[in-house]
Structure 1
Amino acid sequence: MSRRSSRSSTMDQGEFILECKAAYLSMFDSIKEKIESQDSLLEALQQTGRNPSVKVLKKYWTNDTDELSFDDFVDICRKEPVTTSDDLMKAFRKIDINGDGYISLEELHKILTSKGEKKSKSEVKTMIDEVDENRDGRLDYKEEPVLRYSEFCKMVMSTTEESKKMQRKMMERKEKKKKQEIERRGDVSGSQVSVRSTASSVKNQEKSASQANIESGNRIGTPSGSRKSSLLSIDDLPRPSPRVKKDKSRQSSVSRSHKLDEPKNLREWTHTKSKGSFFMEDGSLICHQYDFNLPDDSKIWITMQPQKASRGMDSNPVDTSVFILRDRPDEDGNLLVAFTEHRDGRGKYGVSCDLSAGKYYIMPYTTGCRFKSRKSESEKEAKLVSQDKGGKYVITKAFRKVLEDIFDYSDLDGNGFMSRKEFNLFNIRTSGEEVADEEWQVVEDRIDLEDGEITKAGFLQLNELEAEDSEGDTEDLWTTLVSMGYNKQLIMDQACPFQLDVYTEDCDDAELDVVRVDSYPTYPGDLSFDDIISKSFIKHGEISRVKGMKDLCMYTYKNDGWASLVLDNKSHTRVRVELDCSRSENVISNHDSLQRTLRVDPGSTLIAYHLMPEDEDRDWQVKCTETIR
């Protein structure tokens, strides 16, 4: 049996990772810190009693390597055996080049720098003095080779074990201090990362791991028979690394629990609101967009949630998030201020932030996982118009109900009336044209207005007049319905209405103004909206370098509702990447297939996938494997 297989069979997996963690934390403050040089990798491995040669180091630290994570470190430790007494003896004999049977302080220091825990010359001299009986400052392994060797190696190995014990104690102190700080803050709600599936993936990777290692679903325990609680949380477990095996996928699990923490004194804040809708048009997203004018510095709270149509979308809510942008870049060139990441169980997303006085853009967004272009249209067409006994054309009951809903969605301020501005936005959406003065005059002449605004009854009357004027021809009526997201069965499947609420704590006269219903514009610096949100996902996501590409990274961003995968190509060449997310569990995506090949232009970022749970009541897991083509 090899030393490697022997060790893996005798060391409990939980203890193995604890040992790696303790060694890592002897050099870094957190396992989230990266190893950024080959020398640091060597030192970290030496802390675990591993002493790789230069050749072995180069296997893990190649010319394309910029950094290694704790996960990578654990994988290396799993592959490379711990240095044994035999290894030390071979090095001991090898360095005695002249074969005189003696090793000086300089020679021994060289051994212990390359084989064994790294030590200073003074530490090496102290070790020599303890076994150098004749006090000549040299070790003699010829006169009593077995005894001398055993005594010396026992001392080296004992020192290494003592060092490991000290590392464990240091780690315990750090973990205890961290736990006390969390308890003082009251931050004991726990991680939102699903531990059930993560623990399962680790178990599948390590068949010899004991079932006793899993405690309470979120802790890896100490060896069987020990009652001591573990210091290793589920967050410390190594995720599959692309550096180790090409076929290992990146995995991420997300819990289904959601919590939206709104300000406790929200009733005292000033509240302004607006309705809006997402529309799908030729595969592109169109939506209401807003200017937000803030006269005074203030803390704000913004929420957004979908509104269910009377006949439309399924029971799972469409994700409806908000991005807050500056009207001009800040000193660092950033436009994005904040965006909604947290949600409650009903699909409402929220964000709180402090804003300086000024003008901002509020941009609604949906990932498209539950809101896509329809694949087919029913041949059967609902009836919109009929004739009464007198031969007059009137709208049907079903069509009337849909028009009432459309009026409610178009009444953006929710006051029960449609102002000229709201009617203008409705007309732009349905006909592509603004309402000119003469056209508004026709509206005023044909229906009764209330305080200059259209009532719901007046809106229905306008459509009845249109049906009568066209003598029952419904082409223009269907144009309106299709533009508002309805299919031939009068079911809303290409639109998603939403409610936007903005609260300000220190400003009483903030203004939320609907300025357009259109696709996203281009922003200063020729930035598209996709560019802006890509950068935000990169900033808040977890990075992993794509194997075989030094300048191509994958970022995985997760929030309460969805996960996004972003490719960032910093190279000077176009890259073709094949992504396979088919092994993900309980997910739907913004694309029809969970396998696709993308071309990423040089110096560009690309949102590869949005994914979210298919069933909101179950945990879900994202697994993605990428291959360079």
Structure 2
Amino acid sequence: MSGKRQSNQATDDREMILECKAAYLSVFDDIKDEIDSKEKLVQVLQQAGRNPTSRTISKYWKKSTDNLSFDDFVDICRKEPPTSVDDLMKAFRKIDLNGDGFLSVEELMKVLTTKGEKMSRSEVEKMINEVDEDGNGKLDYGEFCNMVMSTTEECKRKSLKMMERKERKKKKADKGKTELQTRHKFNESFTKDDIETGQMGSRRSLISIDDLPKPSPRARKDKPKASPSVKSTRLSEPQNLKEWTHVTSKGAFFFEEEEIVTHLYSLEIPDDTNVYITIQPTEIPGGGGVKPRNTVDTMLYLLRSRPDENGKYLVTFTEQRDSNGKYVLRCDLPAGKYQLIPFTTGCRFKQRASQPKKEAKIIENGKDETIVITKAFRKALEDIFHICDLDGNGYLSRDEFNWFNMRTSGEEIADDEWQVVEERVELKDGEITLNGFIQLNEMEAEDSEGDTDDLWMTLSSMGFNKALIIDELCTYKIDVYTENCDDAEFKVTGIESLAEKVEAEVCQSVIDKGKATPVKGMKDLVMYTYTSGTRAAIVFDNKSRSTVKMKVDCTKSKNCVSHRGDLEYVMDISSHSTMVAHHILPEDDSSEWVLHCTDTVLK
């Protein structure tokens, strides 16, 4: 991706966050205030130009939801695009039977009070009275759509003005005090300054020219950092571990276009306890038992469900690793809710370079010209079944089948759809058997009438290439042991992008545990380097008010590989943001590796 496109995307994201903040402050006094009801969520989403349906709201406000933060609100806005003129016009054209661009008032009344998200008659009458100026009983919905969008833009402008007034008052009140820190960084593409003052894009009037860095090409070399070859490390396993309470789950890393996605987990412990948690890669089904020279790095980040008094979500992360690829963390945890996020650097788990030239056959004609699946496809489905059987009991629960469906189609299983499953396929104790899972896919193949696109979509999303070989999937197993807690709850909560979910915490872990080195000639730019016996990471923290372009060169390193694909990388670090330059792993685990890094500020 070009630097210009990245810059444009970052600008768009900053503008979106600015609009989110303005919408939030039009409903609440402070972005630290929380959304405490469905009604408030609807209100603030409408202020942000969204038009959420009840179904949309129920996705984000579940039965267990007590409140949502500003961070949560921004995430929702990223996932739910604002309503556009095209969206409105498409909806109206569906009920404009003669296509003349007009709707009768009675027809509109009937549709809006009986279909979809139903409105009351009085609400519809009020809306029609505002737009049917000549009283002819017809609505020019093209003009109406433009009026709606104009009103939306006007609301945005008023929200921005209101936010700016609040910011000026706040700044005046806080004059002479230390600038407040934001309680959470969203990602590298927007900044603390964006959150605190809303100064983005052309809104730079409060920035002094003296605050802008004056970069010039300077190079600074780090002393080479040597790490020993990976040996069979004895991990600090508790002696009485067999007496601890044990919960476990499987999971996997997948590719979604160019991003790595994975299962996410929640851990709820009702009592204070010592925990011992491990994650390790597992043998991929259908892999033939062949073990790769280097195992994929599978780590864990343990996060609080709410930030601590310093605004941090990160509790700890796995640092120890044995020669079989098992990563471990051990710590004391107070009672509460936590998130466990599996992580892989991308140094070894990579996308395929190309598809095989020959495509495997997945369906064929059976008796009576019916469509049946091939033996090769059946074997692939068996592998998928075992991948999705997260608790390893040999069956798929509704939740496990739901995660499979989310991964392959992006949709959750509705109650009526699950009822069909219960009626049509083999179950045991309410869970899908392997034979039942095969039956479901046989029915889909039969319904396809020879079109294999959807079947290949399922296979592709589960990591299979066109030869029915798994080459874009890494499976793992997580084991959680609690010493003083008998009823810990450990479950899958989603399948999401690592970049969106854990980027900030990865940077924070390197800052907390790494070595800080100020970049020469740069007042507010620091490089942090974290190294262990098995990996390294380089992160830059840019506290200045402008973007800095850096070249980070690790080409003189020995036996090293970067997640960037190249040991030399040029990056634009946004103001008041942190960014990973390189994740580094040894190219060969059995040999010594040495990290040697040079950073250069570019004009």
TM-score (norm. length: structure 1) = 0.58
2:476 to 490, 498, 506: 498
Q: Distance in 2 between matches of 1:584 and 1:345?
A: 22
Kindly provide the CA deviation profile for residues 420-475 of structure 1, in whole angstroms up to 9, marking residues without a partner as x: 11101110110111111221122122212111110011111211222122233221
Corresponding position of 2:530: 557
1:434-445 alignment to 2 at 5 Å?
434-445=412-423
Q: Kindly report which structure 2 residues correspond to 1:188-587, keeping only aligned pairs within 5 A, or say none.
A: 246=219, 248-255=221-228, 256-257=230-231, 258-311=233-286, 314-388=292-366, 390-520=368-498, 529-587=502-560
**CA shift for structure 1 position 390:** 4.9
Q: How far off is 1:386 after superposition? A: 2.3
Aligned to 2:588: 615
Structure 1 counterpart of 2:251, one-letter code: G
Residues 513-522 or 288-297, more deviating: 513-522
Any idea what the Cα deviations from partners look like across 1:358-413, whole Å, max 9, x if unmatched?
A: 11111111101011233322332111122345544322222222211111111111
Q: Tell me the secondary structure at the aligned position of residue 435 of structure 1.
A: coil
Shift of 1:617: 0.8
Shift of residue 483, structure 1, vs aligned partner: 0.8
Given that 1:311 and 1:490 are in contact with CA atoms closer than 8 Å, whether structure 2 keeps it comes out as no
Measured in 2, the distance between the counterparts of 1:589 and 1:403 equals 34
Task: Confirm or deny: 8 A CA contact 1:341 1:351 kept in the other structure.
Answer: yes
**Following TM superposition, by how much is the alpha carbon of 1:592 offset from its aligned partner in structure 2, in angstroms?**
1.8
1:626 aligns with 2:599: yes
The one-letter code sitting in structure 2 at the alignment partner of 1:445 is E
Question: Contact conserved, 1:584 with 1:624, CA < 8 A, in 2?
Answer: yes
Structure 1 residue matching 2:583: 3-state secondary structure:
strand
Q: What SS does the aligned partner of 1:379 have?
A: coil
Distance 1:252 1:489 in 2: 42
- Counterpart secondary structure, 2:383: helix
The separation in 2 between residues aligned to 1:280 and 1:315, in whole angstroms, is 22
- 1:359 counterpart SS class: strand
Quote the Cα distance in structure 1 between the aligned partners of 2:284 and 2:483.
32
Instruction: Give 3-state SS (helix, strand or coil) of 2:311's partner.
Output: coil
Q: Give the counterpart letter for 1:320 in structure 2.
A: T
Distance 1:296 1:605 in 2: 35
CA distance in 1, matches of 2:555, 2:498: 31
Contact 2:219 2:601 in 1 (8 A): no
2:576 to 592, 596, 603: 603
Q: Find the aligned partners of 2:486 and 2:475 in 1 and give their Cα distance.
A: 27
Q: CA deviation at 1:415?
A: 1.0
- Deviations for 1:305-347, whole angstroms, at most 9, x for unmatched residues? 1112134584421111111111111122221111101111110
Are 2:343 and 2:498, in contact at CA under 8 Å, matched by a contact in 1?
no
State the secondary structure of the residue aligned to 1:443: helix
- The Cα offsets for residues 275-317 of structure 1, whole Å up to 9 and x where unpaired, read as 1111111111211101111010000000001112134584421
| Paired AA for residue 375 in structure 1 | A
Q: Tell me which residue corresponds to 1:206.
A: none
**Aligned 8 A contact 1:302 1:501 in 2:** yes
CA contact (8 A) 2:248 2:480 kept: yes
* Aligned equivalents of 2:234, 2:538: Cα separation in 1: 23
Report the alpha carbon displacement of residue 573 of structure 1 after superposing the two structures with TM. Answer: 2.2
Amino acid at match of 1:286: V
Q: Cα distance, 1:561 vs. partner?
A: 2.5
Corresponding pairs, count: 380
Match of 1:332, SS state, is coil
> Are positions 1:588 and 2:561 aligned together?
yes
- Contact 1:537–1:564 (8 Å) recurs in 2: yes
Higher relative contact order (CA 8 A, sep 6+): 2
Question: What is the identity, as a one-letter code, of the residue corresponding to 1:541?
Answer: G
Q: Distance in 1 between matches of 2:447 and 2:563?
A: 42
Distance 2:234 2:250 in 1: 23
Match of 1:36 in 2: none
Structure 1 distance, partners of 2:560, 2:361, is: 37
- The whole-number CA distance in structure 2 between the counterparts of 1:532 and 1:446 is 45
Asked whether the equivalents of residues 250 and 625 of structure 1 are also in contact (C-alpha less than 8 Å), the reply is no
Aligned-partner Cα distance in 2 for 1:563–1:520: 18
User: C-alpha separation between the residues in 2 aligned to 1:262 and 1:560?
Assistant: 18
Aligned-partner Cα distance in 2 for 1:466–1:354: 49
Distance 2:450 2:395 in 1: 27
Determine if contact 2:259/2:499 at 8 Å carries over to the other structure.
no
CA distance in 1, matches of 2:332, 2:303: 13
User: Any conservation in 2 of the 1:304–1:501 contact (CA below 8 Å)?
Assistant: yes
Please list every run of 5 or more consecutive structure 2 residues that lacks an aligned counterpart in the other structure. 1-217
In 2, the alpha carbon distance for the partners of 1:247 and 1:605 equals 20
Alpha-carbon distance, 1:521 to partner: 8.8
Residue 247 of structure 1 and its aligned partner are, at CA, apart by: 6.2
Amino acid at match of 1:291: S
Query: SS at 1:405's partner residue?
Result: helix
The CA distance in 1 between the partners of 2:235 and 2:543, in whole Å, is: 36
Q: Distance in 2 between matches of 1:288 and 1:572?
A: 36
Greater gyration radius: 1
Whether the aligned pair in 2 keeps the contact of 1:283 and 1:372 (CA below 8 Å) is no
2-side partners of 1:247 and 1:331: how far apart? 36
Local SS of the residue matching 1:370: coil
Q: CA deviation at 1:250?
A: 3.8
The letter of the residue matching 1:580 is D
Whether the 8 Å CA contact 1:321–1:365 is kept in 2: the answer is yes
The TM-score with structure 2 as length reference comes to: 0.61
Cα distance, 1:566 vs structure 2: 0.5
Instruction: Name the structure 2 match of 1:188.
Output: none
Residue deviations 1:240-296, cap 9 Å, x none?
xxxxx9464442111122342211111010000001111111111211101111010
Please say if residues 305 and 499 of structure 1, whose CA atoms lie closer than 8 Å, have aligned partners that are also in contact.
yes
Paired residue secondary structure (2:440): helix
Amino acid in structure 1 at the alignment position of 2:458: T
Residues 299, 504 of structure 1: 8 Å contact kept: yes
Aligned mates of 1:500, 1:332 — CA distance in 2: 29
For residues 405 and 533 of structure 2, the distance between their equivalents in structure 1, rounded to whole angstroms, comes to 36
Q: Secondary structure at the residue paired with 1:477? A: helix
Is 2:286–2:383's contact at 8 Å kept on the other side of the alignment?
no
Check conservation: 1:282, 1:373, Cα contact below 8 A. no
| 1: CA distance, partners of 2:413 / 2:499 | 22
Helix, strand or coil at the partner of 2:455 = helix
Gaps of 5+ in 1: 1-244, 523-527
The alignment partner of 2:597 has SS state of strand
Paired with 1:587 and 1:260, the residues of 2 have a C-alpha distance of 24
Verify the 8 A CA contact 1:319 1:561 in the aligned structure 2.
no
CA contact (8 A) 2:285 2:387 kept: no
